[in-house]
A and B are shown apart, each in its own frame.
Chain A
Amino acid sequence: MCFQKVPVLASRAFSSSARKLKNRVPEAQKLFQEDNGLPVHLKGGTQDVLLYRITMTLTMAVLRLVYREPATLCGGFSPPPCLRRKHRDT
C-alpha cells in the first residue's frame, strides 16, 4: 500500500518539509514585548530562570573554590606561606 506513495514522495520538492516550519517570530515578538517589567534575560520564562541560576551558581561556586581552596584545582599544590591568608575562617 505504501509503495503507491513512492512516486509522489520521489517527485515532491526537496524542501517541502522545510516549508512546514511555522513562522514563530510574531509569537516571540508578543512574548518579549509584554509589559511585565522582566529584563530580557529572564523574559522567556522558567527555562531562562533555570539557565541563569545554573550559570550564576557555577560562577560563584568556582570563584569561591579557587579563592579559598587553591590546592583543589592545582593538583594538591599549596601556596607558599607568604601567599597564604593569615586569618583563615574555615
Chain B
Amino acid sequence: MAHHSHPYHMVDPSPWPLTGAIAALLMTSGLAVWFHFHSTSLMLLGTILLTLTVIQWWRDIVREGTFQGHHTPPVQKGLRYGMILFITSEVLFFLGFFWAFYHSSLAPTPELGGNWPPAGITPLDPFEVPLLNTAVLLASGVTVTWAHHAIMEGKRKQAIHALALTILLGAYFTFLQAMEYNEAPFTIADGVYGCTFFVATGFHGLHVLIGSTFLAICLARQISHHFTSEHHFGFEAAAWYWHFVDVVWLFLYISIYWWGS
C-alpha cells in the first residue's frame, strides 16, 4: 500500500470502468436489437455484465473506505459533492418528463377533444391507492430519518429496525403501484396521456427500486458494524436519494394524479 503525506485518495488501478463502459454499450445496443430484431440476448448479457461490474466496484469502495481508511474528511467532502451533483442530474432528468406532461396537458389539442384528461381516458382516483402511496412514502421518509438519528446516537438495534421498516415501506409502495399498473383502465399506448403517465411514474418506480436496493445494502452494512456514529456517509447518501424519490412522487401525485384528473 502506498504511504503518502496528503489526505486524498489515489485509487488503485481498476478494471471496472472498462467493464462498465462495455456493459453499457452492450445494454444499449441490445435495446436496439430487441426493438428491431426481437432478440433480448444481447441486452440480457449487457445487464448481467453491468450487475457484475457495479457489485464489484461498490464492494471495492466499501473496502477502500471502511477497511482501508481512505475516506478522510476531504475525500468524504468530494463524495458528498458527487452525490449531490448526481441527484441534481436526476432532478433534471425528471424535469424533462414533467415538461412533456405540462406541454401536453396545459393546452390539450383538438385530437384529445380539447380537454385534459383527454376524451376516452378514465384517470385513476387520486384519493384511493395514489393517496395511500403518498402516505407510505412520507412515512418511509420519517423512518429513514429515525434510522439516521439512531446511527448518530450509537443505537444499533433501533437503527436496524428503522432501516428495515423503511425498506418494507418501499416494498409496500412498489407492490401497490404494481397492482395499480395491472388494473389501470389505460395503457402506455393510449395517446399522450398514457405515455406521459407511464413514462413518468415508470421511471419513478425504477428509482424506488434503486433506492430500496441502496437502503438494503446499508442495512446489511449496519448489521455488519460498518457504520460508526461519526462516519456513515454511505447511509447518508442512501437517505438523500430516498428523500429525492419521495419528493419526485409528491410532484407526480400533485401534477399527474391530482391536477391531471
* Binary per-residue interface labels of chain A (17-41) against chain B in the complex, 1 for a CB within 8 Å, 0 otherwise: 0100101110011011101000111
Chain B interface helix/strand/loop/mixed: helix
Cβ-defined contact, A75 with B39, below 8 A: yes
Chain A interface helix/strand/loop/mixed: helix
Cβ-defined contact, B67 with A31, below 8 A: yes
Cβ-defined contact, A51 with B52, below 8 A: yes
> Does B12 have its Cβ within 8 Å of any Cβ on chain A?
yes
Task: Point out the residue from A21, A28, A66, A75 that lies within 8 Å of B66, measured CB to CB.
Answer: A28
Task: Point out the residue from A24, A35, A54, A77 that lies within 8 Å of B1, measured CB to CB.
Answer: A35
Give B66's nearest chain A residue, CB to CB: A25
Cα separation A59 to B45 with both chains bound (whole Å)? 9
- Which residues on B sit within 8 Å (CB–CB) of A28? 63, 66-67
Seen from chain B, the residues whose Cβ lies within 8 Å of a Cβ on chain A are 1, 11-16, 18-19, 22-23, 26, 29-30, 33, 36-39, 41-42, 45-46, 48-49, 52-53, 56, 60, 63-64, 66-69, 157, 160, 223-226
Chain A: residues with Cβ within 8 Å of the partner, total of: 31
Cβ-defined contact, A21 with B49, below 8 A: no
Q: Measured between C-beta atoms, what is the minimum distance from B162 to chain A in Å?
A: 13
Cα separation A63 to B114 with both chains bound (whole Å)? 50
Given A18-B160, A41-B56, A55-B52, CB of A25 within 8 Å of CB of B37: no
